[in-house]
Structure formats: structure tokens, C-alpha cells
Amino acid sequence: MSRFSIGEEVLYRGERYAITTLTPAEPYEYRLVRTTPDGAEVVWALEGELSKIERYTRPRDDTQAIRGTRQRRA
């Protein structure tokens, strides 16, 4: 089963891409697209070359630095 789905944003070689197509059988290959100043860029990548964008998937409490936020009750 594939780790990624169509429409998901992923990192490939340090750049953000969107998945548009994937092959139906292993080894899964993904068709990726991104926008560049020169227009659209399309590449094919293997599943092992991709990573999730962690700031979307890893929870973090980043509101403590905002003045006026209240502490959570235990």
C-alpha cells in the first residue's frame, strides 16, 4: 500500500511538489508537479525519495510566545 496519496504535498530533493499520479503496483512511482518561475515542472520519483512535510503532520505548541495567550488548565 502506498504511503502517499494523490493531491498530497511532499518534499522531493528539498522542494515542495504535489502528487498527481501514482503507479498501481510496487515499486510505487509518483508523478510530481510544482510551479517554478519558468513554468510547471514535472518529475517522476520513487516512494523512497519522498518525504512528508512535517509541519503539516507533527503537532507542536507554538502559541506560548504570543502575548496574551492563556495557559492551558491541567
What strands lie across the sheet with 39-46, from one edge to the other? Answer: 39-46, 29-36, 15-22, 9-12, 50-52
DSSP 8-state code for residue 60: -
pLDDT < 50: residue spans in the chain: none
Q: Note the pTM of the prediction, 2 decimals.
A: 0.69
The ranges assigned to domains in the chain are: 9-52
- For 27, the grid coordinates are 515499486
| Angle, CA 20 vertex, CA 19 and CA 26 arms, to 5° | 75
Q: Express each pLDDT in 25-45 by its tens digit.
A: 889 899 999 999 999 999 999
